[in-house]
Amino acid sequence: MNRRHFLRTSAFAAVTAGGTHLNAFAEGEIKPTPDWKKYTLRYEVEIPKASVTGTLWLPIPQDMGHYQRFLSINWEGDTSGATLYREQTYSANIFSLSWNEQTPKLNVTFDVALRDRGRNFPAVKQHDVNQEDLYLRPTQHMPIDGIVAETAHSIVDSFMTPDDKARAIYNWVVDSTFREPTTRGCGMGDIKFMLETGDFGGKCADINSLFVGLVRAAGLPARESYGVRVAESGKFKSLGSSGDISKAHHCRAEYFSPRYGWTAVDPADVRKVVLQENMRLDDPKIIELRDYLFGNWEMNWVGFNRARDFDLAPTASEAIPYFMYPYAETTSGISDGRDPSAFDFSLFSNRT
């Protein structure tokens, strides 16, 4: 069975493999200008044969501002139980597959278009009161009271403007954290644990969640964006990946500026380059990267969603901290895509 769906709806939706096409995610047509680049990504998934029944969830992209468009999705294989969902709180797009008796094998392919994201584009800021309220709230792994609030206020109390406060938190996170290569996957983003223990080592979900939680505690909307690198970087080798990107997952962060709208940041990537390219924080190239990553993203990366500590659709056995990897619940137990070697999936990227 082979189905292609063009996703364009703004409300929660579910469509089965035999359902109608949906036409409404895009915020505007993509013009064939040189700044847009198109990529095709492909999941290949095989469920262990011992899993008689179960459900698989795959994160798939959504439109994100002026810098990313989700174009289409196609699936083939053992997909009679395949469904597309749009989660209600964070508008996360989810491909789900449930099965009985037959252990499925499937490919899911989707197309996206990307262009680099800068602080001064577009000229008119995006403003949505409901979104801003959502991204001021605490979550299970991201409280904004207690030690989180105390730390945030100790950093920002001498600064007046929202952008200066966000920059102060960004600098504090870059200076205080370090990349820990032994962290599983991208980390858990348990920021209270980090602050209480003084253990500031981790990966992107830890370091960028720390930024987001501190910014929320300082009274500014902030959020993570969970996704995967899809192409080589024009800046540093360690910030890119292509071909087999099964281990190239990466989350980024944003805060809402009254002046610029949603503004891109990525303190975790500063720390990634420092470790993996054996550089110092005071190296001129790191200083330049640090300045660039407050306000800009190099879009060799596809964003899946901004969901944090939420329930999958259809509902899983428990809420998950974030949705960046494939996830499955079967008669054999839970399979977490943070460890591809324990979950038989691959993810590939190709520029088209």
**Tens-level pLDDT at each residue, the chain (352 residues):** 444 443 333 333 444 443 323 333 344 455 657 789 999 999 998 876 666 788 999 999 999 988 999 999 999 988 888 999 999 999 999 999 998 877 778 899 999 999 999 876 555 556 666 788 999 999 999 999 999 999 999 999 999 999 999 999 999 999 999 999 999 999 999 999 999 999 999 999 999 999 999 999 999 999 999 999 999 999 999 999 999 999 999 999 999 999 889 999 999 999 999 999 999 999 999 999 999 999 999 999 999 999 999 999 999 999 999 999 999 998 888 888 877 666 788 999 999 9
DSSP 64: B
Which tokens in the block code for residue 28? 């505007």
Q: Are residues 200 and 100 in the same domain?
A: no
Q: Is residue 123 included in any domain, yes or no?
A: no
Q: Are residues 294 and 177 in the same domain?
A: yes
pLDDT, tens only, 112-129: 999 999 876 555 556 666
Q: Are residues 78 and 18 in the same domain?
A: yes
Q: Are residues 262 and 137 in the same domain?
A: yes
Q: Are residues 286 and 330 in the same domain?
A: no
Q: Is residue 330 included in any domain, yes or no?
A: yes
Sheet holding 105-114, edge to edge: 2-5, 68-77, 105-114, 37-46, 345-351, 243-244
Using CB atoms within 10 A of its CB, is residue 33 exposed (0-12), middle (13-18) or buried (19+)? exposed
Q: Is residue 124 included in any domain, yes or no?
A: no
pLDDT at residue 20, rounded to an integer:
28
Q: Is residue 57 included in any domain, yes or no?
A: yes
Using CB atoms within 10 A of its CB, is residue 98 exposed (0-12), middle (13-18) or buried (19+)? middle
Q: Is residue 121 included in any domain, yes or no?
A: no
Q: Are residues 144 and 11 in the same domain?
A: no
Q: Is residue 120 included in any domain, yes or no?
A: no
Q: Are residues 134 and 263 in the same domain?
A: yes
Q: How far apart are CA 348 and CA 230, in angstroms?
A: 8
Number of domains within the chain: 2
Q: What's the CATH code of the domain at 209? A: 3.10.620.30
Q: Are residues 287 and 154 in the same domain?
A: yes
Domain of residue 207, residue span: 129-298
pLDDT, tens only, 325-337: 999 998 888 888 8
Q: How far apart are CA 90 and CA 74, in angstroms?
A: 23
DSSP 142: B
Q: Are residues 276 and 332 in the same domain?
A: no
Q: Are residues 266 and 189 in the same domain?
A: yes
* pTM above threshold 0.85: yes
Q: Are residues 206 and 316 in the same domain?
A: no
Is there a contact between 253 and 211 (Cβ–Cβ < 8 Å)?
Answer: yes
Q: Is residue 184 included in any domain, yes or no?
A: yes
Q: Is residue 191 included in any domain, yes or no?
A: yes
Q: Are residues 55 and 171 in the same domain?
A: no
